[in-house]
A and B are shown apart, each in its own frame.
Chain A
Amino acid sequence: MNWPSRLASVTGRVAVRLVPAARRDWAEAIWAEAHEVPAGWPRLAWRAGGLGLIAKEGQMARRIGIVTLFAGAAGAAAWGAWPGSPVSHGAALQGGILITLALLAGLPLLTRWWLGPPDSRAARCLRAGFFAAVLVLLPVQAIIGLFVGLVPRSGINRHTFDIAIGSGIPGSSSGGPNWGGEIWILIFTACSLAVVLALTARRTPVAPATLVIAAGAGMVLGIVMYAVAPVGLNFRYPYRPWLHGSAAEAVGVLAWILVFSVPLIAGAIAGRRCHVPDDPDEASVARAWQGVAAGVVSSGVGAVFVTVFGSSTTALLVKSALVRDWFYHGQHVTASAVYGRELYASQNVQGYFILLIGFPIIGVILGVFGAAVANPTPRLPDGGGPRRPPDPPGPELLPTPPDRLRSTSPSSPG
């Protein structure tokens, strides 16, 4: 055997492992058949065809594309977020960026081994959306952190800074993330990523329809929340440049209603749509899963949406004069007033993290409640619940009255 054929043989044996198990027989078949082909170029050509088959069946083009896309996006995010030399807390930021990227790259592999890969388009889209959100937030948070930490040298801006942030060395960068803050953010990112990966894995009993319903509902919640809080979250002094007067109040009320109704409705719809086993106990568990998933995903998507868009808007305000002009168009505000607003907005961006933590908790509770309320445990005759074995023939019994009614029966005293 000459060296090209030997090389091709070894390459093929390794490459066969890349093919999914269901197709591996075919890859091995083409490799075994190569022994019947005359040695030399014909055999090499045969094996080259085999490698083409392996590349195609192993979906290598898609995998390479995904890895390349992720690497490019991660590189761009890291480049945008990487702290410059004047930043005193650069080491913490650099560590945070590297660990975040390592989590994004490593946790999916761990989840894949444990719970399987995502097996639906909805699951893949949800994962991709979450990854994109994290990668966008990296540079955006860095821009905002740098702005908040940069102490003006003098003038009214310095006065505004002292009121808003506190005193610092003029021209220096102070405050911003420290190791403690970075560690908490990393723990939160890891937990959120783990939840998203688990809910979208093959071996988790969450239906694709549940993910679609919840993500759609979450987008509605996120859009309304963004309309209410486009540049940071401040309950006491909310800033909504495009909403005025009663419209602002109405949308604010709508946002509050949606915070609680979206996970509830998503859980109810998901619980009703899912196919449950005949066993009532298993059915309850299946519905609870759909409720948890619908609640977490709908609330989480809403929170992530408003966090990403709100933080990005704030970062653009800080960074781009064009966006500032558009944002404050028609308003007579001085440069120092603009600085003050940007400073407050940058501080208020931290408020989005309250939503990121609080919304999923609300979502779990209301999602399960919604799924349970929409599909009570079957106790009613036909038409009142999901699949139930028919009752044995016999006289129809009156339903047993509840305890509170029994106590008011004529025989009872009082």
Chain B
Amino acid sequence: MGSRSEFSPQTLAVLVALGEQPSAWQHGYALAQLTGLKSGTLYPILIRLADRGLVEACWQEDPAPGRPRRHLYRLTPDGLASAAVAAEPIKAERAAAQLRPGESLRRGRRVAAPVVP
């Protein structure tokens, strides 16, 4: 019997999405597209992860002309470790369910999920 993860499936999806490119800063909308989460779900997760020191955030320095500055996110070293641990059960679940790459089981329905390396 596997131990229950400390993260919700949505939080795991965010961690995994951020873990795809650990060194790159990512935007909120891109993360929403990767995880399939709505803004009202995604941002509270990012806030909690930042509070726990797993995600760091900063403001874009050179915004596109006529656009406001965007908030950027990436995993901290602790967050990277958590993402690696979090990805293991997802890989195992995916292998067990023999899903196609790019899909994951979340809350009993199939949704788009980031490809875990």
A-to-B contact residues, CB < 8 Å: 23, 25-26, 28-33, 35-37, 45-50, 52-53, 56-57
Instruction: Beyond A26-B46, A26-B47, A49-B39, list 10 extra A-B contacts (CB 8 Å).
Output: A29-B28, A30-B43, A33-B28, A33-B39, A33-B71, A36-B27, A37-B29, A49-B42, A53-B39, A57-B47
Q: Which residue of B lies closest to A28 (CB)?
A: B71
Q: How far is the CA of A46 from the CA of B68 in the complex (A)?
A: 16
Q: Write 24 A-B pairs (CB below 8 A) sorted by A numbering.
A: A25-B71, A26-B43, A28-B71, A29-B28, A29-B70, A33-B27, A33-B29, A33-B71, A35-B67, A35-B68, A36-B27, A36-B29, A46-B32, A46-B38, A47-B39, A49-B39, A49-B40, A49-B41, A49-B43, A50-B39, A50-B40, A53-B39, A53-B44, A57-B47
Q: How far is the CA of A31 from the CA of B40 in the complex (A)?
A: 12
Q: How far is the CB of A32 from chain B (nearest CB, A)?
A: 4
User: Residue B52 at the A interface, CB < 8 A?
Assistant: no
Q: How far is the CB of A280 from chain B (nearest CB, A)?
A: 39
Given A26-B46, A30-B28, A57-B47, also A36-B70 (CB < 8 A): yes
Q: Which chain A residues lie closer than 8 Å to B59 at the CB level?
A: 25
Q: Which residue of B lies closest to A51 (CB)?
A: B40
Q: State the total of A-B contacts with C-beta under 8 angstroms.
A: 58
Q: Which chain B residues lie closer than 8 Å to A49 at the CB level?
A: 38-43
Given A23-B47, A53-B44, also A45-B28 (CB < 8 A): no
B residues 28-77 near A (Cβ < 8 Å) are 28-29, 32, 38-44, 46-47, 57, 59, 67-71
Interface of chain B, main secondary structure: helix
Q: How far is the CA of A23 from the CA of B48 in the complex (A)?
A: 11
Q: Which chain B residues lie closer than 8 Å to A29 at the CB level?
A: 28, 43, 57, 70-71
Q: Which chain B residues lie closer than 8 Å to A23 at the CB level?
A: 47
Q: How far is the CA of A168 from the CA of B75 in the complex (A)?
A: 82
Q: Which residue of A lies closest to B28 (CB)?
A: A33
Number of residues from B at the complex interface, CB < 8 A: 20
Q: Which chain A residues lie closer than 8 Å to B57 at the CB level?
A: 25, 29
Q: Nearest 5 A-B pairs (CB), nearest first? A: A49-B40, A29-B71, A49-B39, A32-B68, A52-B40
Q: How far is the CA of A266 from the CA of B27 in the complex (A)?
A: 55
Interface of chain A, main secondary structure: helix
Given A32-B69, A32-B71, also A45-B38 (CB < 8 A): yes
Once the chains bind, are A32 and B70 in contact (CB under 8 Å)?
yes
Q: Which residue of A lies closest to B31 (CB)?
A: A33
Q: Which chain A residues lie closer than 8 Å to B70 at the CB level?
A: 29, 32-33, 36
Q: Which chain A residues lie closer than 8 Å to B41 at the CB level?
A: 49
Q: Which chain A residues lie closer than 8 Å to B67 at the CB level?
A: 35
Q: How far is the CA of A40 from the CA of B77 in the complex (A)?
A: 38
Q: Which chain B residues lie closer than 8 Å to A53 at the CB level?
A: 39-40, 43-44
Q: How far is the CA of A267 from the CA of B39 in the complex (A)?
A: 51
Q: Which residue of A lies closest to B50 (CB)?
A: A26
Once the chains bind, are A48 and B27 in contact (CB under 8 Å)?
no
